[in-house]
């Protein structure tokens, strides 16, 4: 056959004499346009994926920075505890000797035992000053005159760094905050340039010093009113922080993260020492974050930055891979369009030859049908089989010779045959080309020739030919998938049973630990307190009893009282004893009262259980649900009011907890920071074990309402709690 477009062919039809460039122009343009469209789509997709992965990397970086914030706050609290210990010495000296100021020797012995230079927290200088000390009264070395208003360790006589209290506005403001609030106060002030030493970077930049001040009162706890506090004030315990060591030791845990800290009014760079403040937010780092940490009345600005390549490696690699794949797809699509357009522009002679080859295409189509892995069955309007491919022979276990000419009903279970005929008739009336079968049920049932039923998925299509309608059904044996789904359901039930067992074991362990804390450790502490009181009484009767020892015994007794309170609080948090001794309702009442006292959130309660008696498991479940819901309110809701309803309606127990807080956007179940709510998940699991239901009604700025319904029979058993 002569080639199309060959001008020397005597059989070429009119219009086939073209120049080579004209025959390729349209395919080339179409291929180029297709390649551009595909490549642009790939590039846009790469940008979207890259931006998404960068946001994920930024969230990871923010989480790491949040951990560093927590470490800094923890170290500052450790420094505060050190000041509280020093204040105990001052109070003891005041009560014993009637003098608010310890002797220099006593102060030196106490502070030297702390070994400030070799162990954290980062307080390298520890001092004490009486209230209202005049300027210039500090810096006395140990062993000097007995009248000291400022004691400092290590002993130093120089005041070039502003060691006297009250000489700067920052120090005065910090002392006033500490005296009025009875809490630790922080002061950040600039050191004179000549005392800053030679900085490694930023020569000539101002250096800052950070001090912590803790007020010391004659009585503990301090008075509630501010004027009374000032009257009871006897002095201040203060410490100078080694900010370079503090932030360097914390920054060492994140070696690939740059940490810069500033604070004070005006702002001064605290870390790195001597660095210019203008460099705090500059730099080529890819990920940045700025946090503000409030402590002791001061705000510390913490800037984090990093160029860690591992954070953005996934984004860069994914975008590059998408661009490369898009380029390859563009080339393939351009080639396909080029071939398609070129073939579409064939000559009339080639079109005639294509019609002559239609029978060959039909044969190829039949070959494709025969080689298809899907079972394909075609029937006429009377539901007689007219085509039966080899895959159908394997699935239905019947040869095509035996199947063709018979009714399709032989492969449908008898109970479904009438419905199948009605379905096919309705489908033929709609005129829809194709549709999936069995929309009301995900899996249909087929019948093999040997009588075995098996699950299938099927779709049906219809066409018209010269002799009427033909219906083609494509079906797939999904026996293995159904088995896998059944196995998955069984595994899910096993996991739920395991979760229920773990909840039970956890409650038993909490009960055991709470009992041991309350009974064993609590009794031992009580006995220790009684022995200490006996020793204190015996020493008090001696005429030469040392006053410092008696004061130390008083401090020890107070510490034991505080420890007993902590043990009781921890035991109650694990499992309130009254839940087992008094029952569910007193335990819930105690929980609500403790919540209102601890967080200052008003509670409206409606607890009307009627005559219901709750089993041990049911009482534990309901108590834990209320506890977890109140915990979520305290952590995330920012609410000022909470209402709780606990009533019995018919054969259902209804528990509803509602707050007026910020709610969750979109009505989603959230537990803060966009994280998955494991607390709510635990509530659902507990309720599911009892056969109940959980519903949540929430929206942004609309509060959060949790409703739990549990069958009364599941929580009210014969062996009920008293």
Q: pLDDT-derived band of residue 441, with 50, 70 and 90 as boundaries?
A: low
pLDDT digits (tens, 9 = 90+) for 674-721: 445 677 888 888 888 888 889 988 888 888 989 999 888 778 754 444
DSSP state, residue 701: T
Work out the mean pLDDT of the chain and round it to a whole number.
76
Q: Which residue has the higher pLDDT, 343 or 237?
A: 237
Cα separation, 293 vs 74, whole angstroms: 12
Calculate the dihedral angle through the C-alpha atoms of 516, 518, 524, 530, rounding to the nearest 10 degrees: -170
Q: Tell me, what's the pLDDT at 593?
A: 87
Q: Which residue has the higher pLDDT, 2 or 62?
A: 62
Q: pLDDT-derived band of residue 11, with 50, 70 and 90 as boundaries?
A: very low
pTM over 0.85: no
Helix 479-515 to helix 616-632 angle (10° resolution) is 90
Q: Tell me, what's the pLDDT at 204?
A: 55
Q: pLDDT-derived band of residue 670, with 50, 70 and 90 as boundaries?
A: very low
Burial of 546 (0-12, 13-18, 19+ CB in 10 A): exposed
Nearest to 533 by CA among 557, 551, 508: 557
Q: Tell me, what's the pLDDT at 268?
A: 85
Calculate the dihedral angle through the C-alpha atoms of 655, 661, 665, 669, rounding to the nearest 10 degrees: -30
Nearest to 239 by CA among 134, 85, 95: 85
Share of the chain above pLDDT 70, in %: 76
How many other CB atoms are there within 10 angstroms of residue 5's CB atom? 17
Q: Cβ distance 181 to 174 under 8 Å?
A: no
Cα separation, 337 vs 411, whole angstroms: 44
DSSP state, residue 320: H
Q: Tell me, what's the pLDDT at 568?
A: 72
When mean pLDDT is compared across 49-63, 236-250, 356-370, 638-652, the lowest value belongs to 356-370
Q: Tell me, what's the pLDDT at 134?
A: 39
**CB neighbours of 62 closer than 8 A, spacing ≥ 6?**
289
Q: Cβ distance 447 to 410 under 8 Å?
A: yes
Asked if 370-477 and 581-722 have one fold, the answer is no
Calculate the dihedral angle through the C-alpha atoms of 344, 346, 348, 353, rounding to the nearest 10 degrees: -90
Q: Which residue has the higher pLDDT, 636 or 373?
A: 636
Q: Is the pLDDT of residue 345 over 70?
A: no
**CB neighbours of 287 closer than 8 A, spacing ≥ 6?**
57, 58, 61, 304, 305, 306, 307, 308, 311, 312
Burial of 32 (0-12, 13-18, 19+ CB in 10 A): middle
Cα separation, 86 vs 107, whole angstroms: 9
pLDDT digits (tens, 9 = 90+) for 463-476: 877 677 888 888 88
What tokens does 122 get? 């980062």
> What's the CATH number for 75-255?
3.30.450.20
Side-chain half-sphere exposure of 96, counting CA atoms within 13 A: 21
Handedness of CA 188, 192, 194, 195 (dihedral sign): negative
Nearest to 300 by CA among 270, 255, 257, 258: 270
What tokens does 528 get? 């220790």
Helix 479-515 to helix 547-574 angle (10° resolution) is 150
Q: Which residue has the higher pLDDT, 641 or 266?
A: 641
Give the class (CATH, top level) of 370-477: alpha beta
Three-state SS for 427? Answer: helix
What tokens does 270 get? 């605290």
**In 516-615, where does DSSP find H-type helix?**
522-541, 547-574, 577-581, 584-599
DSSP letters for 655-673: EEEEE-S---GGG--B-ST
Q: Is the pLDDT of residue 239 over 80?
A: yes
pLDDT digits (tens, 9 = 90+) for 194-215: 544 444 444 555 678 888 999 9
Q: Cβ distance 160 to 271 under 8 Å?
A: no
Q: Tell me, what's the pLDDT at 106?
A: 78
Q: pLDDT-derived band of residue 671, with 50, 70 and 90 as boundaries?
A: very low
Q: Is the pLDDT of residue 297 over 80?
A: yes
Strand order in the sheet with 268-271: 268-271, 258-263, 298-306, 287-295
When mean pLDDT is compared across 73-82, 420-429, 589-598, 651-660, the lowest value belongs to 420-429
**CB neighbours of 718 closer than 8 A, spacing ≥ 6?**
none
Angle formed at CA 167 by CA 166 and CA 171, multiple of 5 degrees: 50
Q: Which residue has the higher pLDDT, 305 or 664?
A: 305
Cα separation, 614 vs 715, whole angstroms: 6
pLDDT digits (tens, 9 = 90+) for 603-628: 888 888 877 778 888 888 888 888 88
Q: What is the CA radius of gyration of the chain?
A: 41
What tokens does 24 get? 């390729």
Residue 185's alpha-carbon distances to 79, 84, 229, 235, 702, in angstroms, are: 12, 13, 15, 14, 38
Cα separation, 235 vs 130, whole angstroms: 4
Q: Cβ distance 326 to 39 under 8 Å?
A: yes
Q: Is the pLDDT of residue 653 over 80?
A: yes
Protein fold of 581-722:
Heat Shock Protein 90 (3.30.565)
pLDDT digits (tens, 9 = 90+) for 163-181: 456 567 788 888 888 888 8
524-544 average pLDDT score: 79
Domain ranges of the chain: 22-56+312-356, 75-255, 370-477, 478-575, 581-722
Q: Tell me, what's the pLDDT at 203?
A: 52
Cα separation, 481 vs 487, whole angstroms: 10
Q: Tell me, what's the pLDDT at 707?
A: 92
105-110 average pLDDT score: 79
Q: Cβ distance 510 to 574 under 8 Å?
A: yes
pLDDT digits (tens, 9 = 90+) for 622-641: 888 888 888 888 888 888 89
Q: Tell me, what's the pLDDT at 686?
A: 81
Q: Which CB contacts under 8 angstroms, 24+ apart, belong to 465-468?
A: 467/380, 468/380, 468/381
Q: Cβ distance 270 to 208 under 8 Å?
A: yes
Share of the chain above pLDDT 90, in %: 4
291-316 average pLDDT score: 86
Among 143-152, 296-305, 311-320, 663-672, the range of highest mean pLDDT: 296-305
Handedness of CA 711, 714, 720, 722 (dihedral sign): negative
Q: Is the pLDDT of residue 253 over 50?
A: yes
Q: Cβ distance 469 to 380 under 8 Å?
A: yes
């Amino acid at each position: 056959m002569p080639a199309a477009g060959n001008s020397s062919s005597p059989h070429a039809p009119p219009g086939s004499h073209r120049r080579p460039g004209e025959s390729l122009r349209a395919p080339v343009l179409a291929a180029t346009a297709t390649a551009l469209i595909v490549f642009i789509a790939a590039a846009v997709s790469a940008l979207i994926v890259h931006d998404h992965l960068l946001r994920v990397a930024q969230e990871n970086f923010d989480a790491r920075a949040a951990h560093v914030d927590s470490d800094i706050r923890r170290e500052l609290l450790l420094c505060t505890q050190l000041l509280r210990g020093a204040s105990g010495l001052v109070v003891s000296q005041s009560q014993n000797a009637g003098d608010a100021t310890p002797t220099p020797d006593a102060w030196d012995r106490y502070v030297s035992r702390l070994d400030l230079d070799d162990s954290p927290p980062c307080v390298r200088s520890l001092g004490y000053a009486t209230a209202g000390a005049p300027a210039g009264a500090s810096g006395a070395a140990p062993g000097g005159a007995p009248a000291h208003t400022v004691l400092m360790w290590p002993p130093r006589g120089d005041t070039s760094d502003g060691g006297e209290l009250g000489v700067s506005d920052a120090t005065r403001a910090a002392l006033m905050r500490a005296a009025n609030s009875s809490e630790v106060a922080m002061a950040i002030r600039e050191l004179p340039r000549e005392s800053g030493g030679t900085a490694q970077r930023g020569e000539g930049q101002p250096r800052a010093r950070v001090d912590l001040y803790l007020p010391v009162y004659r009585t503990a706890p301090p008075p509630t009113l501010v004027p009374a506090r000032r009257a009871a004030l006897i002095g201040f315990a203060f410490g100078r922080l080694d900010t370079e060591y503090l932030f360097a030791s914390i920054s060492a845990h994140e070696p690939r993260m740059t940490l810069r800290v500033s604070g004070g009014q005006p702002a001064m760079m605290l870390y790195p020492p001597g660095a210019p403040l203008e460099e705090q937010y500059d730099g080529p780092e890819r990920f940045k974050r700025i946090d503000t940490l409030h402590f002791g009345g001061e705000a510390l600005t913490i800037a984090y930055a990093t160029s860690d390549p591992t954070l953005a490696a996934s984004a860069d690699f994914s975008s590059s891979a998408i661009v490369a794949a898009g380029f390859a797809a563009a080339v393939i699509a351009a080639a396909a369009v080029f071939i398609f357009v070129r073939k579409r522009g064939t000559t009339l002679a080639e079109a005639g030859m294509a019609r002559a080859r239609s029978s060959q295409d039909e044969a190829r189509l039949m070959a494709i049908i025969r080689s298809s892995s899907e079972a394909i069955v075609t029937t006429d309007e009377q539901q007689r089989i007219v085509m039966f491919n080899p895959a159908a022979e394997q699935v239905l276990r019947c040869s095509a010779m035996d199947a063709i000419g018979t009714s399709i009903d032989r492969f449908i279970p008898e109970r479904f045959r009438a419905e199948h005929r009605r379905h096919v008739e309705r489908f033929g009336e709609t005129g829809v080309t194709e549709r999936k079968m069995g929309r009301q049920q995900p899996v249909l049932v087929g019948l093999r020739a040997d009588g075995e039923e098996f699950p299938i998925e099927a779709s049906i299509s219809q066409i018209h030919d010269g002799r009427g309608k033909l219906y083609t059904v494509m079906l797939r044996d999904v026996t293995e998938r159904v088995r896998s789904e059944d196995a998955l359901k069984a595994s899910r039930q096993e996991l739920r049973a395991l979760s229920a067992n773990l909840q039970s074991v956890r409650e038993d362990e909490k009960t055991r630990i709470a009992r041991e804390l309350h009974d064993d450790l609590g009794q031992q502490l009580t006995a220790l307190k009684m022995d200490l009181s006996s020793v204190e009484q015996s020493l008090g009767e001696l005429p030469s009893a040392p006053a410092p020892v008696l004061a130390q015994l008083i401090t020890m007794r107070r510490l034991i009282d505080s420890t007993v309170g902590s043990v009781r609080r921890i035991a109650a948090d694990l499992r309130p004893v009254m839940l087992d001794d008094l029952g569910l309702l007193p335990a819930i009442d105690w929980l609500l009262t403790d919540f209102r006292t601890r967080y200052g959130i008003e509670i409206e309660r409606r607890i009307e259980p009627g005559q219901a008696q709750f089993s041990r498991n049911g009482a534990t479940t309901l108590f834990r649900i209320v506890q977890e819901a109140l915990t979520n309110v305290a952590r995330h809701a920012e609410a000022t009011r909470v209402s709780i309803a606990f009533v019995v309606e018919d054969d259902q127990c209804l528990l509803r907890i509602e707050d007026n807080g910020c709610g969750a956007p979109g009505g989603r179940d959230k537990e803060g920071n966009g994280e998955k709510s494991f607390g709510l998940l635990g509530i659902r699991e507990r309720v599911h074990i009892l056969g109940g239901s959980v519903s949540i009604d929430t929206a942004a700025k609309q509060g959060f309402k949790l409703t739990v319904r549990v069958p009364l029979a599941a929580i009210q058993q014969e062996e009920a709690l008293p």
